[in-house]
Amino acid sequence: MQRYWRVLRLFWSTAIAAELEYRLNFVIAAISSLGGLIGSLFGLFLFYRTGYEFPGWSWEEALVVLGIFTMLQGFSATALAPNLNRIVRQVEQGTLDFVLLKPISSQFWLSTRTFSPWGLPDLIFGLIMIAYAGSQLGLPLMAYGLGLPPLLFGFISLYSLWFMLGATSIWFVKIYNVTEVLRGLLEAGRFPVVAYPAVYRVFFTFVIPVAFLTTVPAQAVLGQGSWGWLLGSAGLSLLLLQISRWFWQFALRFYTSASS
């Protein structure tokens, strides 16, 4: 375990050192996230401007969902996209061989190798949005703490789904864009799940668990969470994580490397 920590620290410090070479990129990323934030707020505003409300969600409460969505976006830009989108290239070029030869878990290596600070502005803006909405609603400090566990579970679920999609590249080399499909569907997390018609709700709860990624943590922050949903999201994330590990072991059996 300790070895993994040390390796992780090395991975990320080199990654940050490399990214700091391109400081201008960070400025661009910050401006883009600000633009994205304004756009998201505008999109939400269009619904609330004529007095309509998502059933049971006031403007401020919907802002919490949007804030969590923004954080999730930041998380995927920081930790998921730079690593998991690279699996395809490793398979294609056969460099996965080198990873498999290393004396640590290959899933760990593939999932944590780099770290891109590009998503940090999104994480910060998301936090600001939640804090603003929370102060408008007069939420106690404790409430934010309550939101943390489901948020963490959400991160784990998202990671596992993403990793499994990335792992399918062992069979189908040319499907690097399958993660784009997931990303497209995640956009649904901008809004509380009750805002969708019934068919969509079923889809976004049971097929692609978007509801667990943003709505459930938001409910926990707002003090409307229930044990059922919390347990559900914990169970789901652990299950998905375990499946992703099995899936990777299974997929590796079909890996034929570049030269064989």
Which residues in this chain contact other proteins in the complex, by CB under 8 A?
25, 28, 31-32, 35-36, 39, 42-43, 46-47, 49-55, 172, 174-175, 177-178, 180-181, 183-185, 187-188, 191, 195-197, 199-200
* Shortest Å distance, C-beta 38 to other proteins: 8
* Shortest Å distance, C-beta 231 to other proteins: 28
Q: Closer to other proteins at the Cβ: 41 or 239?
A: 41
User: Of 75, 84, 74, 88, nearest to 108 (Cα)?
Assistant: 84
* Shortest Å distance, C-beta 138 to other proteins: 27
* Shortest Å distance, C-beta 51 to other proteins: 7
φ/ψ region of 140 (left if φ > 0, alpha if ψ in -120 to 50, else beta) reads beta
* Shortest Å distance, C-beta 47 to other proteins: 6
Q: Closer to other proteins at the Cβ: 43 or 140?
A: 43
* Distance, CA of 214 to CA of 195 (rounded, Å): 13
Q: Closer to other proteins at the Cβ: 58 or 105?
A: 58
User: Of 108, 80, 248, nearest to 170 (Cα)?
Assistant: 248
Longest dimension (CA), the chain: 64
Q: 153-186: buried (b, 16+ CB within 10 Å) or exposed (e) per residue?
A: bbbbbbbbbbbbbbbbbbeeeeebebbeebeeeb
What are the percentages of helix, strand and coil residues in the chain, rounded to 5?
Answer: 80, 0, 20
Q: Closer to other proteins at the Cβ: 121 or 225?
A: 121
Q: Closer to other proteins at the Cβ: 11 or 26?
A: 26
